[in-house]
């Protein structure tokens, strides 16, 4: 399982405003200061802005210490929308992406019925649905992104045919198809989210594999 690092300082959400001489920084919320608070957002930690103007993301902690989805207003009022229980996922490391339906999509690194992560969606109201328990891959770090075809695309850091990770496609209904299983030669251990370019291809990186085992940049 993933080794959890412990730090002694509190993570914070920050905003930056450009000034003529220097940038002005304001702390909106100190994680861990309220009972049941999320804390220590890490890795890609993508913050998505909803159609309501509020900001949404994920972090560790929460009411069950399995991670949480939270909403924070531009003025700094934070609300926990969902605290994971383990059976619906654990350790949501990557943050969220906004879908065309107005819901947010993300992954958990662990938990779920397969033990090794979930793909989920959550409405701004907090209505939560597990879409997939990742039958073909394990331990996703990053949230999926929505392609121009309306389907969702992402990476698993492990699993697949050779255990080196996968690229997957998921329908809005939660049907997952493995598009590619990494083989070390073409990369291994993708952690980051994908991006779809104007040529229609998806681009991403792996943390290892390739000619010198230091990772690759790929398109699919």
Expressed as residue numbers, the domain containing 124 is 1-135
Chosen domain end from 81, 104, 135: 135
Those residues with Cβ within 8 angstroms of residue 84's Cβ, 6 or more apart along the chain or in another chain: 62, 64, 66, 67, 68, 90, 92, 108, 111
The 8-class DSSP code of residue 67 comes to -
Chosen domain end from 112, 135, 158: 135
- Residues 164 and 118 occupy one common structural domain: no
| CA dist., res. 192 & res. 183, Å (int) | 17
Q: Output the furthest CA–CA distance in the chain (Å, rounded).
A: 54
- Residues 45 and 122 occupy one common structural domain: yes
- Residues 2 and 108 occupy one common structural domain: yes
- Residues 129 and 50 occupy one common structural domain: yes
- 51 falls in which pLDDT band (50, 70, 90)? very high
- Residues 130 and 148 occupy one common structural domain: no
Res. 21: pLDDT tops 70: no
| CA dist., res. 53 & res. 73, Å (int) | 8
Q: What is the pLDDT of residue 186?
A: 97
- Residues 127 and 66 occupy one common structural domain: yes
Res. 14: pLDDT tops 60: no
- Residues 7 and 56 occupy one common structural domain: yes
- Residues 90 and 159 occupy one common structural domain: no
Q: Quick one: what percent of the chain has pLDDT higher than 90? A: 80
Q: Quick one: what percent of the chain has pLDDT higher than 70? A: 90
- Residues 22 and 43 occupy one common structural domain: yes
Chosen domain end from 135, 160, 190: 135
Number of domains in the chain: 2
Res. 136: pLDDT tops 90: no
| CA dist., res. 19 & res. 119, Å (int) | 40
Res. 3: pLDDT tops 50: no
Q: Is the pTM of this model over 0.95?
A: no
- Residues 152 and 199 occupy one common structural domain: yes
The whole-number average pLDDT for the span 101-118 is 95
């Amino acid at each position: 399982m993933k080794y959890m690092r412990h730090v002694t300082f509190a993570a914070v959400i920050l905003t930056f405003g450009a000034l003529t001489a220097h940038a002005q920084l304001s702390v909106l919320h100190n994680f861990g200061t309220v009972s049941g608070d999320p804390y220590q957002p890490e890795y890609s930690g993508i913050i998505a802005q909803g159609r309501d103007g509020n900001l949404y993301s994920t972090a560790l902690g929460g009411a069950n210490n399995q991670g949480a989805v939270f909403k924070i207003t531009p003025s700094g009022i934070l609300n926990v929308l969902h605290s994971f229980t383990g059976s619906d996922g654990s350790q949501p490391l990557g943050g969220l992406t906004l879908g065309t339906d107005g819901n947010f999509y993300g992954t958990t690194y662990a938990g779920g019925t397969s033990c090794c992560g979930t793909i989920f969606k959550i409405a701004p109201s907090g209505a939560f649905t597990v879409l997939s328990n990742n039958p073909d891959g394990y331990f996703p770090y990053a949230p999926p992104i929505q392609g121009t075809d309306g389907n969702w695309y992402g990476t698993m850091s492990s699993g697949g045919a050779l255990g080196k990770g996968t690229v997957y496609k998921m329908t809005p209904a939660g049907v997952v198809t493995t598009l590619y299983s990494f083989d070390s030669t073409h990369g291994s251990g993708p952690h980051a989210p994908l991006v779809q370019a104007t040529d229609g291809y998806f681009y991403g990186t792996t943390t290892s594999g390739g000619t010198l085992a230091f990772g690759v940049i790929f398109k699919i």
